[in-house]
Amino acid sequence: MRMELTAVYMQVPGGGYVAFAKELWGANSQGETLEEARAMLEDAVRLLIEASRGENEKFIADRNVVHEPLVIDEPGWD
């Protein structure tokens, strides 16, 4: 599955970057360089999604559910 999010990188006083995914609350990280911040943010997004999936799987266990893709167009989300 491919997901495209907007990454935001802010240079902070004293050096380094703070990073977050604009569309995914809680997906944030930091790095000493922009490259490190990018890699750390990707890890943070993956971990957040994995944790959410795990919790949701527990919630729906032994329940009658329907699974289907959810595709959302982004009108004016920039």
Domain ranges of the chain: 7-60
pLDDT at 36: 98
Report the DSSP beta bridge partners of residue 29.
Answer: 19
> Tens of pLDDT along 12-61?
999 999 999 998 999 999 999 999 999 999 999 999 999 999 999 999 99
pLDDT at 78: 57
Report the DSSP beta bridge partners of residue 11.
Answer: 17
pTM of the model: 0.79
Q: How far is the C-alpha of 26 from the C-alpha of 21, rounded, in Å?
A: 8
- Cα 43 versus chain centre, distance: 9
